[in-house]
């Protein structure tokens, strides 16, 4: 082994290690080996755990913006000796710089040959202008990926996910390697959703907690299931001779808040998506503020400027999201007439949605799913479905999605209610389900 434009040797841990990482992140990526001499001979490190922690802290504490999503630090054995390997991918938020120096030539480094040197003013300006490589397009540090859950989602939607599709969707990059988009969809995804239930209106007493891992698809499904289990039916209401129950939170609002938190967060920042349930509200917190050039007023009006465009496109193809820029509008719509309205807050590096308990969200007695629409609107939709069936002899879930521009889950609920009411019959199984008079 020899040093090169993508390989750097350090005989031992040094306090300015972060400079090498900055240089690789700003250029074409590379690997730093701690425990190898300049001539390529392996010396090893004595205290592996301590050295690994010091390297991690050095990088986290000294580099801005956060580069840890593009760095993998782990001990390896070379020639029978322990060495710390620091693999650095090219970052998507260049210029990366030393926190103590700022975005100046003495704080921004690039890789030239076998040396990490200060960048010129022109190079720094070009980096700022050319922040064009989104996180999802960069090559994943982890290449040993599987897509069991993603494959299942595509099959359920009737879509293929072969190599051709993986390339066209951006799961495989131009270099033939898996991208960070692939990492997010893979079973090995390292980002998490953390869900906690608290007693009362503060975080003083835990009642329950869960962590959801794996493919983002699985995380969303698992999180939605657990949230639903905690979204209780409130006191029943007697209307005429019919009993109706009420959910504490509208499921459509929860679903949109969860999808927004996962699809639109900034994955270049190292951290987890947080969901907290209190006695009076649910809070969703995702990393990453608004995309540059977009203000909160724009978001509230439905302006959609996607941070993870390819990720959002895949969710759109799978009908997990119905259209861009409608999430907040749907949340607000589900709270029409409620005394407490949802709250949307944006910080420099985070976005927060707060959903309060509702006064009344109508439910069919004994059902575990919400009434998606006001009764008059549901009746109109059922009439349209019956007209469709009369004309075509049958209807499937996809037909309902297209007729009313709703999600697969909403379409299934509409059809299920009609089956329960005896207005339709369900025949077939799995992907061959259809509904007839």
Helices (H), 301-361: 309-317, 327-334
Question: For residue 65, is the peptide bond before it cis, meaning its omega torsion is within 30 degrees of 0?
Answer: yes
Question: How wide is the angle at C-alpha 264 spanned by C-alphas 59 and 317, nearest 5°?
Answer: 130
pLDDT digits (tens, 9 = 90+) for 4-45: 999 999 999 999 999 999 999 999 899 999 999 999 999 999
> In this predicted structure, what is the pLDDT of residue 403?
80
Q: How far is CA 53 from CA 45, 48, 50, 86, 324, in A?
A: 13, 9, 5, 12, 42
pLDDT digits (tens, 9 = 90+) for 162-184: 999 999 999 998 888 899 999 99
Question: What does the pLDDT average to over 132-150?
Answer: 85
Looking at domain 193-362, its CATH class is alpha beta
- By residue count, the chain amounts to 437
pTM exceeds cut of 0.75: no
pLDDT digits (tens, 9 = 90+) for 368-399: 333 444 454 567 788 889 888 988 899 988 88
Tokens of 404: 């009313």
User: CB under 8 Å to 138, separation ≥6 — which residues?
Assistant: 70, 89, 90, 91, 92, 179, 180
> In this predicted structure, what is the pLDDT of residue 303?
67
CATH-assigned architecture of domain 373-436: Orthogonal Bundle (1.10)
Domain with CATH 3.30.950.30 in the chain: 7-131
Q: Domain 7-131, what fold?
A: 3.30.950
DSSP 172: B
pLDDT digits (tens, 9 = 90+) for 306-317: 788 899 999 989
> In this predicted structure, what is the pLDDT of residue 337?
84
Question: What does the pLDDT average to over 277-291?
Answer: 91
> In this predicted structure, what is the pLDDT of residue 192?
95
Domain with CATH 3.30.565.60 in the chain: 193-362
Q: How many CB atoms lie within 10 A of CB 77?
A: 11
Domain with CATH 1.10.10.10 in the chain: 373-436
Q: How far is CA 419 from CA 69, 250, 382, 423, in A?
A: 48, 23, 11, 6
CA dihedral defined by 280, 286, 288, 294, rounded to 10 degrees? -60
pLDDT digits (tens, 9 = 90+) for 87-104: 999 887 889 999 999 888
């Amino acid at each position: 082994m020899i040093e090169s434009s993508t390989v750097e040797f350090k005989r031992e841990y040094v306090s300015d290690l972060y400079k090498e990482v900055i240089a690789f992140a700003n250029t074409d990526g590379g690997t730093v080996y701690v425990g190898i001499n300049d001539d390529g001979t392996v010396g090893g490190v004595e205290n592996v755990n301590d050295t690994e922690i010091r390297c991690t802290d050095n990088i986290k504490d000294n580099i801005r913006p956060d580069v840890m999503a593009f760095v993998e630090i782990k001990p390896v054995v070379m020639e029978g000796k322990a060495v710390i390997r620091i693999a650095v991918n090219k970052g998507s938020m260049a210029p990366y710089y030393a926190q103590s120096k700022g975005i100046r030539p003495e704080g921004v480094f690039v890789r030239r040959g076998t040396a990490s040197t200060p960048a010129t003013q022109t190079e720094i300006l070009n980096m700022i202008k050319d922040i064009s490589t989104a996180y999802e397009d960069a090559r994943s540090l982890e290449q040993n990926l599987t897509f069991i859950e993603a494959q299942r989602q595509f099959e359920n939607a009737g879509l293929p996910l072969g190599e051709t599709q993986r390339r066209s969707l951006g799961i495989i990059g131009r270099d033939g390697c898996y991208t960070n988009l692939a990492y997010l969809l893979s079973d090995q995804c390292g980002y998490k959703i953390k869900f906690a239930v608290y007693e009362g209106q503060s975080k003083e007493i835990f009642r329950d907690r869960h962590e959801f891992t794996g493919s983002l698809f699985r995380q969303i499904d698992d999180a939605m299931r657990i949230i639903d289990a905690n979204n209780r039916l409130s006191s029943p209401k007697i209307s005429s001779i019919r009993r109706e129950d009420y959910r504490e939170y509208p499921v459509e609002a929860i679903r949109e808040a969860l999808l927004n938190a996962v699809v639109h967060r900034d994955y270049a920042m190292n951290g987890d998506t947080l969901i907290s349930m209190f006695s009076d509200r649910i809070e969703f917190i995702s990393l990453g503020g608004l995309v540059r050039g977009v203000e909160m007023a724009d978001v509230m009006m439905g302006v959609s400027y996607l941070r993870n465009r390819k990720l959002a496109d895949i969710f759109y193809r799978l009908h997990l999201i119905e259209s861009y820029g409608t999430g907040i509008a749907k949340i607000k719509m589900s709270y029409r007439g409620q005394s407490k309205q949802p709250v949307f807050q944006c910080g420099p590096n985070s976005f927060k949605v707060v959903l309060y308990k509702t006064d009344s969200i109508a439910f069919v007695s004994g059902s575990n799913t919400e009434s998606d629409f006001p009764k008059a609107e549901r009746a109109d939709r059922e009439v349209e479905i019956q007209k469709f069936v009369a004309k075509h002899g049958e209807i499937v879930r996809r037909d309902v999605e297209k007729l009313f521009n709703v999600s697969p889950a909403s379409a299934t609920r509409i059809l299920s209610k009609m089956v329960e009411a005896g207005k339709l019959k369900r025949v077939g199984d799995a992907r061959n389900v259809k509904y007839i008079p």
